[in-house]
Structure formats: C-alpha cells, structure tokens
Amino acid sequence: MKKNKYRYTLRLAIDKSIYNYEKKQDLIDFVKKSKVSDVAFFINQEELSDSHITLKKAQELITEIDTISQPLKEMNVTISLNPWTTMNHSDRGLGIRSELDIKPMVSYQGVLSTSMACPGYVGWMEYISDVYAIYASIKPHELWLEDDFRHYKNAPFELGCFCEDHMKKYNAIAHSDLTREEFIKKMFTGEKNKYRDAYLQVARDEILKAASMIEEKVHKVSPNTSMGLMSSWPEIHALENRDWHKLLEVLSGPNTPAVSRPHLPAYNEVSTLQYARDFEKYTVATRTLIGNKHKIYPELENYMYSQYAKSNRFTQFQLETSSSVRADGLLMNLFSMMGVGIDKTYKYDELLAQSKEFADFMYQNGISIEDRDGIIIPMTQKVAKYKIGDGTLHGLMASQTQWLELLAIFGFATRPLDYTDQKFVNETIALTGNFLNTLSNAQITEMIQDNFVLLDGDALIILDNRNLLNLINADSIEVIQPRTGKQVYEQFDGLTLSGVKDSRITLQTHVGAYVKVHYLSDMPKESNAYNRYNELVGPATVANDKFYIMPVGEHEKYGWEGEYIDFREKDLKKCLNVSYLVDMYNCKAIFSGRKIIVSNWSMDTTDGINFKLDKPVSKISITYRDGSKVKNQIIDVSSHNNIYHADFKVPGLAVVYVECLE
C-alpha cells in the first residue's frame, strides 16, 4: 500500500495587469475547497507568450509569481513552475530576438521556422539552461519541461531539425554527402538504415545534452527542486529516439527523482469509447515505457475550457480512471491560459473535493502496471528505428498498441510491458507487426515457440519477411487490401458466438489488409474469409494451443475499428486461457492476484460483475465512490464453469475496486 495521497496540481496562468483582490480570493478559495496541494504557475504561455524571452524578462515574470504565490505558501500549498517554452511549440508570427543566441529549426521539408529553436545548437542549450536557473531561483517544488521539448512539432511543420549544421552532423555519421532531400528519402524508406540511425543518434544525444545542462544549473541554484518532463504520443517520441529511462535519470538530482506528466488524450470531450482506446494507446503506453521509478501526474486538460469543451462528468471520469496507471496525482489545466483566473461557475472545486477520498483510496490500494496479471503486450522505444518505411514521415510512426487497445476494452487482463530482452515461457503474449519487427529472428523464434501468441496480419507480414512462417506451420502469404472486391467478410463457420451461429466480421472496411496464409497442413479454423458471392477466399482466424492468428492488418486511418465487435471478443475468450470480464461491454479490468479494478467506459450500467478467474472465490469486497464517500460492500458470488457472478451493478463511467475473498 502506498502511504502518500493522490495529489491535485492546478496549472494556472496569472496576468499581473488584471490580477486583482477578487482573483486572489477566488484562487485561495478554490485551492482550499478543491483540496489542491500544488499550484504550477505558467510562465510565458499560449496567447500571452512572447516567444523566447530575455533573461531579464524571465527574472521579472518569476518575481511576480513569487509575490502572487506567497498566500498559497502560507496555506502549505507547494508552488511549482510550468514554463511554456523550451524549443517552442509552433510558429505564431513572432521571431527570435536578435540579442538571443538561438538558431531556427528547419523541418524535414526545408521549412525554416521563425521561432522554434534548433535543438542541437549550443547557444540555445546555454540560453535555455540559463533561463531555467532563473526560474529555479524562487525554489519551486517542481520545475517542468513543456511538451515542446521534442523534435516533432505540430503540423504542418512536423519533424526537425534539418538545418545546415544538422545535415553536416548526419552526413558525417552516415559517411555520406547527401542533400536534405536525398537524405530524407533514404531515412524514410525501407528498413533500419544508416541515415535513419544517424538522425536518431543525434536527436537522442542532443535532448540528453540539453536536459543535462538544464538539470545541472537548476540543481546548483535549487537542489530540492524536482524536474518534471511533459510528453505526448509515444510514437512521435519514438521518432526522435527518446530514451525515456535515461532522460528521466538525467533530469533527476541526487535526492530529487524527476517526475513525469503523460498525456491524457482528450482535451475536449470525445466519446468515452474512443477515449477508452486512446487512453491505452497514449497514457498506458507512455507509463509502460517510463517504468515505475518516477512519479507520474497525467495531464487533465480542458482546453478550450468551460463545460462547452468538456462535461464535468467526463472530467471526473478522466480523474478517476487515472487509477488505471496508478497515477500519483493529476496536473490539471482547467482555466483559460490568458490569466483570467478561476471561473467559479465550472464548479470544479466541488468535483475535485467529491473525488478526493476515492482517488486517495485507489492510489493507496491500486495496481501498478508491473504488478498486473494477464496477456503480455510488449512494446519498445526502439520501434521507429526498425519500422519499414514507405518513404513518408508518417510511414515511420509506429503504433504497438493495437492489441492492448482491443484486449483492454474487451475486458481481458492485460499486462503491457517495456521490452528489454526479457525471456518468457508459457505466457500469453500479444504481438503486433511493429513490435515483432524490432526482434532478431532468434528472439522471434523463441517467443513464438515457448509461449501462446496472438498474431495480427502485420505480424504475419514480418514472419514472411524473415522467412519464419514455418513457426506457424505455413510457407507463404498473400496480402490482399480491403475494398478490392475480393474478401468482404470472415465467417465463424459452424460456431455460435453471442448466441449467433455463423457470425461475421467485416473484411471490407474499417480494417486493413487481409493476410491470406497458406498453411502446410490442415489447421483448426475459427473462421474463413469470403467474397460477396459467399465463395471461400481462404482461412481467416486460426487458433490452436500455440497461437491465435487474426490475419488483419492495421488500416492507416481506421486502425482495427472493424474488430471492435462482440463476435471477436467472444471468439478470443473461447480460445484464450487468461482472466477476463464476462458480458460487461466496454468495461476494462486490471487483475493482480485477487484484486480487480473494474472501470466502465460506457454510458450503460452493467447487469452485475462477472469474471473468469482461476482461483476459488466465495465473496467479493467492492469499494466504490458514492457522492464524496468511499463505501464498501461484501457480496456473495455464484459460479459456473470458473465464471463468477456478483449482483452489483456498475454504473456508466464508474470505477470500482474488487477484492476476491475465499
């Protein structure tokens, strides 16, 4: 059990020119009522950003914040700082001041930025670390690096830096003499190559160098300040070869481990079902790659602000589901960044106060990713290095979370894993093509031979590339794109799933290519692929005691959307011997021993709590939030074929904590 409490941090913008007595009182009241214990003041942010500011201006801003924060300090609230600019997020009509020694970034398409800094230029490294030393002078609790501390910038600029100095560095490492256009083409095309390696090596090194200079100067001025790292999508950080462990280690002082802010992927309200998938893809994946040595405070952001951007119910659900990654708290950006202060009509103080006791309980009793049971879903930060590129930048973006998203929303016990050459035996492992491609042939062989594996269409393509189809008793494949008039559906011939015989899943739309496998002998087929005349095209889903093959690739726009259907869910549950929820649509479950965290990511109330667990259970203890109170009930369970049922309805958008008693 963790002893500390779940922490609320309010990120807040102040503008001295409109900051008055009322705003000050509103802030104090809000902090008290909402149980906020840390306030992170923005510096030089968004609309009020003046691009890269001078050291003199930095000193002025920090002096204002220091004055404004005194009443909060007297309330034992810690004060942190969120400078909004490192390299800068995007161009907004402002240039770089001539007195600053900063060179502009150049995109892969040769676009010269007006305000974003070339991250390899030592002048910028000196400047940004000097500015951070000034920020450190008021001894903030945490001092954050914004999410612009990366090489991938908002569209249309995208990836940097390809300035003349950078091109010289890349060419020197690759022993080449290419123009930017020639270099980019080679870097983006085909398998791992020396041009991509040169870019990735430089990008990683310069981020670590800048981070190290900032850390050193900050901790010289304020040894007790913790550095914080904000981040966004794992696949764009993979494009700059981010070494999560090393970067957080470099930012840590002797007694101040760095903290991390992963992204919660919904600034505006989206459907909860979409959020359920994105949460796995971004938040769970980032936490997995970071590891458990650093505290995480995910980002709850309601930009453009007010209930017109997001309902309070959705905000509260985001807060409470942060327990799925056992967050240490939240970094909340709830009010306009133009310095207007607190808007009381949003009633966030009531919302935050209401959830606090339950958030503390979930934090103290929760399940860390490393302690989860279930299907192993490996991922690696090295994925962009090995991705088979199609000549475009987006062709290098590599998601490894398709199985994680699908299996989690189907209620399976999932165990995402930061892969660092671990060996597995007799486990259930879900493998995507992008991940599989980072392994050696020997590693692939071992992983498939020693375990039960789930393989998708993209994984089959990698097995074919590596001449390893023999591992699944096959010798060739044919990749058939969707909407080619060939395959249109797969049919679970003779099977009854969800009470429906011969059920079908589309192979025509909202899924990628169908990979037709030529097996060497007859295989146990779950389903077959058909054309529109109901004529057999080839085998579809195949499962035995060694593997489950779903021969469907990822669609570049729709991913696996077509697979989010009960027939796939039921067929997987028929074939996989792991723990999972039963007949609870859109509910996720995190299993660890006898603990289960159940979260309902839909609007519907469930009929009860039903789950498969290979342990004797006679009762379950259920802890949940009722208003602002944490309540507990002990309920008898009935069982049938290892599936337990408890009469406890889980409402939509709720999280409940279950302990299985003997």
Of 103 and 217, which CB lies nearer to Zn ion in the complex structure?
103
Contact segment (CB under 5 A) with Zn ion among 120-128, 337-345, 418-426, 544-552 equals 120-128
Burial category of 659 from C-beta neighbours within 10 Å (exposed 0-12, middle 13-18, buried 19 and up): middle
Compute the distance between CA of residue 287 and CA of residue 328 in angstroms, rounded to an integer: 12
- Smallest distance from the beta carbon of 168 to Zn ion, in angstroms? 10
Of 161 and 334, which CB lies nearer to Zn ion in the complex structure?
161
Compute the distance between CA of residue 186 and CA of residue 167 in angstroms, rounded to an integer: 13
- Let me know: does 323 contact 368? Beta carbons within 8 Å: no
Residue 332: which H helix or E strand, with range?
Answer: strand 329-333
Compute the distance between CA of residue 321 and CA of residue 562 in angstroms, rounded to an integer: 25
- Smallest distance from the beta carbon of 539 to Zn ion, in angstroms? 51
- Residue 117 touches Zn ion, criterion: CB under 5 A: no
Of 40 and 203, which CB lies nearer to Zn ion in the complex structure?
203
The widest CA-to-CA distance across the chain, in whole angstroms, is 80
Buried b or exposed e, range 72-106, using 16+ CB within 10 angstroms: beeeebbbbbbbbbbbbbebeeeebeeebebbbbb
Of 120 and 262, which CB lies nearer to Zn ion in the complex structure?
120
- Smallest distance from the beta carbon of 91 to Zn ion, in angstroms? 15
Q: Which residues in 604-643 contact Zn ion (CB under 5 A)?
A: none
Of 121 and 348, which CB lies nearer to Zn ion in the complex structure?
121
Peptide bond into 156 cis (omega under 30): yes
Of 161 and 653, which CB lies nearer to Zn ion in the complex structure?
161
- Residue 36 touches Zn ion, criterion: CB under 5 A: no
Residue ranges in 121-243 assigned as alpha helix (H):
122-136, 164-174, 180-188, 194-221, 234-238
Of 85 and 600, which CB lies nearer to Zn ion in the complex structure?
85
- Residue 258 touches Zn ion, criterion: CB under 5 A: no
Of 236 and 300, which CB lies nearer to Zn ion in the complex structure?
236
- Smallest distance from the beta carbon of 88 to Zn ion, in angstroms? 14
- Residue 159 touches Zn ion, criterion: CB under 5 A: no
Of 164 and 390, which CB lies nearer to Zn ion in the complex structure?
164
- Smallest distance from the beta carbon of 145 to Zn ion, in angstroms? 19
- Let me know: does 598 contact 576? Beta carbons within 8 Å: no
Question: Out of 43, 136, 163, 352, which residue is the one contacting Zn ion (CB under 5 A)?
Answer: 163
- Residue 161 touches Zn ion, criterion: CB under 5 A: yes
- Hey, how many other C-beta atoms are within 10 angstroms of the C-beta on 36? 24
Given the DSSP bridges, would you call strands 78-83 and 38-43 parallel, antiparallel or unpaired? parallel
Contact segment (CB under 5 A) with Zn ion among 27-35, 163-171, 256-264, 523-531 equals 163-171
- Let me know: does 393 contact 188? Beta carbons within 8 Å: yes
Residue 549: which H helix or E strand, with range?
Answer: strand 547-550
Given the DSSP bridges, would you call strands 7-12 and 329-333 parallel, antiparallel or unpaired? parallel
- Residue 116 touches Zn ion, criterion: CB under 5 A: no
Contact segment (CB under 5 A) with Zn ion among 84-92, 164-172, 282-290, 438-446 equals 164-172
Question: Out of 7, 89, 153, 166, which residue is the one contacting Zn ion (CB under 5 A)?
Answer: 166
Helix (H, G, I), strand (E, B) or coil at 43: strand
Contact segment (CB under 5 A) with Zn ion among 155-163, 192-200, 285-293, 557-565 equals 155-163
Contact segment (CB under 5 A) with Zn ion among 110-118, 168-176, 466-474, 624-632 equals 110-118
- Cα-to-chain-centroid distance, residue 262: 7
Contact segment (CB under 5 A) with Zn ion among 113-121, 225-233, 425-433, 516-524 equals 113-121
Q: Bridge-partner residues for 355, per DSSP?
A: none
Contact segment (CB under 5 A) with Zn ion among 15-23, 165-173, 219-227, 466-474 equals 165-173
Of 197 and 343, which CB lies nearer to Zn ion in the complex structure?
197
Q: Which residues in 359-378 contact Zn ion (CB under 5 A)?
A: none
The count of chain residues that interact with Zn ion, using the rule CB under 5 A, is 5
- Let me know: does 507 contact 552? Beta carbons within 8 Å: yes
Question: Out of 36, 96, 118, 597, which residue is the one contacting Zn ion (CB under 5 A)?
Answer: 118
Residues that bind Zn ion (CB under 5 A): 118, 120, 161, 163, 166
